[in-house]
Amino acid sequence: MIPFNKPYITGKELRYIEDAVARGQLSGNGDYTKKCHAYFESTFRFPKVLLTTSCTDALEMAAILLHIQPGDEVIMPAYTFVSTANAFVLRGATIRFVDSRSDHPGMDEHAIEALINDNTKAIVVVHYAGVACDMDLIQKIADTHNLAIVEDAAQAFGATYKGKPLGSFGALSAFSFHETKNIQCGEGGLLVINEENLQARAEIIWEKGTNRSAFFRGEIDKYGWVDIGSSFLPSELNAAYLFAQLEESERIQKQRTAIWEAYYKQLKEWAARLGIQLPVIPDYAINNAHMFYLFCRDNEQRTRLIQHLKAHGVHAVFHYLSLHESPFYYKKHDGRALQNSDQYTERLVRLPLYYELDPQPVIKALLGYDS
């Protein structure tokens, strides 16, 4: 069976982990954490970053930093992972879900403004499959209504909007290094703090609500509990593993892109004949090759296609269940129909995509499907 995902190992991970062990500091914010921070700040020109144990934790930090509290409303897409919403629900916020675009599973930027009211505090932008949302439009809406933008860039490593890295637009942005992502360390994340006035507090929240980092820099003579926070920083073992991946990120991205393009070129005619839609990349975005999906005519076609692939040794999967229809939140949803999101829930299927994949057996199996 060709798996849906296989985490890629560059070959340097264990060596760097051994080096981290030999250095004698394993608890986090050591040499390899600093190396990872320096990579993101120099490569993408992010002003301040903090490694986290997951993208979920980075989003939870964002909710704390924005002082989200009961009575506040936060706007985000319904077609996203539960962590996007959970981070803000944990602070007591009400979620106002936006439908997906008709041409792409990402949020419909033109549906955002109608949801804004006096209780709205933030817009959470999810760059689905690493494909940028229309950030000019979203920024204009946010500026008009004095709202914060948070980018859930979990899938968007290396992706851009009009040449500018995703993660650069929000007051705060979150990335994922889960094993299913292009660059991974098993479990891991990153918080980008673009707003200077949030940077000092972000570091305190990251360090369990203490000013410990400032103490170790010699800026204060003792540290203590000065704010709320939690244990958001990962161990040096995770950071060492991640740094090995970051060093090879250009090669990893190039290989994934080649696989994505092979899928697109060789499946284009087949998909058109069967009424299956391939991914759409707007002119303002680039393809970071995080995901290759097919949008089937209906749920029955998707079911048959997944079964066909399984019978031919290929593990393909569907994706999110719309959060507004979830057992936890459907009674809290305001009742609006989100038809596009529901269609992606019912009809989208993801193909295997990982560094060591030979796409040809997958393509061959797909070309053998004709209904």
pLDDT tens digit at each of 371 positions of the chain: 999 999 999 999 999 999 999 999 999 999 999 999 999 999 999 999 999 999 999 999 999 999 999 999 999 999 999 999 999 999 999 999 999 999 999 999 999 999 999 999 999 999 999 999 999 999 999 999 999 999 999 999 999 999 999 999 999 999 999 999 999 999 999 999 999 999 999 999 999 999 988 877 888 888 899 999 999 999 999 999 999 999 999 999 999 999 999 999 999 999 999 999 999 999 999 999 999 999 999 999 999 999 999 999 999 999 999 999 999 999 999 999 999 999 999 999 999 999 999 999 999 999 999 98
Distance CA 344, CA 126 (A): 15
b/e per residue 291-313 (b: at least 16 CB within 10 A) = bbbbbbeeeebbeebbebbeebe
The answer to whether 91 and 68 are in contact (CB under 8 A) is yes
**How many helical (H) and strand (E) elements, i.e. helices and strands, does the chain have?**
12, 11
Nearest partner of 321 among 344, 290, 298, judged by Cα:
344
Closest CA to 324 of 111, 57, 103: 111
Residue 217 has a pLDDT of 81
Bridge-based pairing of strands 160-161 and 293-295 is unpaired
Interatomic CA distance for residues 203 and 37, integer angstroms? 13
**Stated pTM of the model:** 0.96
- At 134-187, the pLDDT tens digits run 999 999 999 999 999 999 999 999 999 999 999 999 999 999 999 999 999 999
Given this model, what pLDDT does residue 255 score? 98
Which amino acid is present at 328? F
Beta-carbon neighbour count of residue 328 at 10 Å?
11
State the first-to-last Cα distance of the chain, in angstroms, to the nearest integer. 23
Q: For residues 184 and 177, is the Cβ–Cβ distance under 8 A?
A: yes
State how far the Cα of 146 lies from the Cα of 361, in Å rounded to an integer.
51
Indicate if the alpha-carbon torsion angle 197, 203, 206, 212 is positive or negative. Answer: negative
Strand partners, 175: 190
The pLDDT assigned to 214 comes to 83
Backbone φ and ψ for 357, nearest 5 degrees, come out as -70, 135
- 162's tokens: 């009009």
Cβ atoms of 193 and 170 closer than 8 Å: no
Q: Over the stretch 202-218, which tens digit does the pLDDT of each residue have?
A: 999 999 999 988 877 88
Go through the domains of the chain in sequence order and give each one's CATH number. Answer: 13-248 (3.40.640.10), 250-367 (3.90.1150.10)
Q: pLDDT at position 273, please?
A: 98
